[in-house]
Structure 1
């Protein structure tokens, strides 16, 4: 896996009501095509989810399993080199997905189901430690407050990461995520973006999920379909501070942004340099 720029995690939602694509990758054929496009565009990881993050129609364990687990098996067979992440908070789904070849459990609801960590330890899978301020899965924040949002995030995700290691989850597979928008208002997410270096300084690899989120939309007064440039600006800010993984809808654009930041930082060589030399 590349080491000259941060990694890109492509989002593939097996949901009919995704806030971003409105179900464009709900069908199996459409989702497989999306994985192929993402891999060709430079994605290192694909994150497969079967439940919309926000409020919506009820999706029970059986339905989430139907949407996610056979698809993980298909992706594993077709793309053996791709890292497969599953966006779930349920241990039942996590266990079946890992049995089919998932490499990483993206727990965006901060341990709402404690047994999910046990699954990661059982299978030797990676794990994303998130911060939600104690929010219940699939709920929106309402008048949330923190004395210092960055301090709260750093304390929660690093404590959780240490607990996972003690439980038997491989330390090298653990990521920490400030979890923009989840349990937070726009001011919180902007602060976390601006001060991401404080989380990077913990030395746990940092994953950021910025793509087309509400804090970008509210910052710019932009609807979901108009948030790409704002997302890429936030991506560059986080990359400069040392974020390791970027969860993204727009893979090619994110890869190019990260390549440019990496070239400026000196961790990646320019693709070609001929100006003034010939």
Structure 2
């Protein structure tokens, strides 16, 4: 039976002598929650951890696409699809996409994630040729318009190849490299950093009564297995981002359990990404039906994740998230603490 260790993270400036830094960031911990499937959890001192578990939690994360991971990074969402749940059709075409990309950079984005296939619940698979026709000219235009890294959000190796040729430098696969077996091999051959996400089922069926034995540990085990697979293909852990996949084959209870305990995923020894922006559970909890009006709820979730040491936030609302994090850091860590 596997052991899992969730660090109980604090961000206070006053650290005890036995504090363990979390993954090279501003957070730290002295205790962990020890979880197993066969018995209730218990709180242990960090000093009781096995060396491999302690190292996975404490070792600084290496830069991704040239970006250091010692502070929260913002991945801006740029959908070039007609049917995405929040912004479908708004930024289709090179000119609109490039203008939006420039605005996101002005607002403080660290990287831009371009997607040509909607993965909202119920969405159908887009043919490869159509997906390439959507993303290739947009990435080409972005590469000439902005200097931040560009990620391609795709499940398909052929699409990734076209996107990388156009200027993308990271592959973000919402299927966790299960949809197209060639995609992981392609990324390994081309020394690309990757984001591996958990999803139960495909977008068309994933929200039809999703069930888990224990959603937190089931998602962790899936990601651990996929990280190992990627390593065996030649992609080092330092180039792997893990994403527990909020809203992908998960109901509201599942989503909230993952978010409450998201620090567990630092135990994988990888950079952690959360993409909860404007999602349906935020609307249900807040009573806001229109996705574009869920900015306050999205920012609240983002700050809760930052407090647990999440390194990358995938968001629609860049300036609001950047501003919120700046104020969170000022209050929690004393940054910008001037008279």
Per the TM superposition, whether the score is higher than 0.5 is yes
2:116, 2:244 → 1: CA distance?
Answer: 22
Are 2:101 and 2:145, in contact at CA under 8 Å, matched by a contact in 1?
no
User: Is the Cα–Cα contact under 8 Å of residues 144 and 184 in structure 1 kept in the other structure?
Assistant: yes
1:31 aligns with 2:31: no
Question: 2:250, 2:263 → 1: CA distance?
Answer: 19
In structure 2, what is the equivalent of residue 42 of structure 1? 108
**How far does residue 245 in structure 1 lie from its aligned partner after superposition?**
0.2
Distance 2:298 2:203 in 1: 24
How many Å separate the matches in 2 of 1:169 and 1:36? 31
Runs of 4+ with deviation above 6 angstroms: none
Matched, 1:269 2:335: yes
Deviations 1:47-89 (CA, angstroms, capped at 9, x unpaired): 000011133465210010011122222222332x311101100
In the alignment, which of 181, 190, 204 is matched to residue 123 of structure 1?
190
Preserved CA contact (<8 Å) 1:13 1:50: yes
Tell me the distance in 2 between the aligned counterparts of 1:150 and 1:11: 25
Contact 1:4 1:262 in 2 (8 A): no
Deviation at 1:273, TM superposition (A): 1.2
After superposition, give the CA deviation of every residue in 1:95-128 in whole Å (9 maximum; x if it has no partner).
1212222111110122211211111112111111
Normalising by structure 1, what TM-score? 0.91
2:307 equivalent to 1:229: no
Q: Tell me if 1:165 matches 2:231.
A: yes
2:70–2:311 Cα contact (<8 Å) kept? no
Which structure 2 residues correspond to residues 95-174 of structure 1 after superposition, within 5 A? 95-111=161-177, 112-133=179-200, 135-174=201-240
Q: CA deviation at 1:146?
A: 0.9
Question: 1:206 — aligned with what?
Answer: 272
Secondary structure at the aligned position of 1:206 is classed as: strand
C-alpha separation in 1, matches of 2:137 and 2:252: 36
Segments of structure 2 that go 5 or more residues without pairing to the other structure are 1-66
Q: Hey, which of these two has a bigger chunk of strand by percent?
A: 2
Structure 1 residue 137: Cα displacement: 4.1
User: How many pairs does the alignment contain?
Assistant: 270
Tell me how far 1:17 sits from its aligned partner: 1.7
Alignment of 1:250-269 (within 5 A): 250-266=317-333, 269=335
Which is greater in Rg?
2
Query: What is the alpha-carbon distance in structure 1 between the residues aligned to residue 189 and residue 70 of structure 2?
Result: 31
Q: Partners of 2:167 and 2:316 in 1: how far apart?
A: 23
C-alpha distance 166-172 of structure 1, shift in aligned 2 (>3 A): same
**Post-superposition shift, 1:2?**
5.5
Describe how 1:31-70 pairs up with structure 2 within 5 A. 31-54=97-120, 55-56=122-123, 59-70=126-137
1:215-226 mapped onto 2 (5 Å cutoff): 215-223=281-289, 224-226=291-293
CA-to-aligned-CA distance 1:193-250 (integer Å, 9 cap, x gap): 1111111233311100010001111122211132111111111111100101000000
SS state at 1:184 partner: coil
TM-score by length of 2: 0.76
Distance 1:57 1:180 in 2: 19
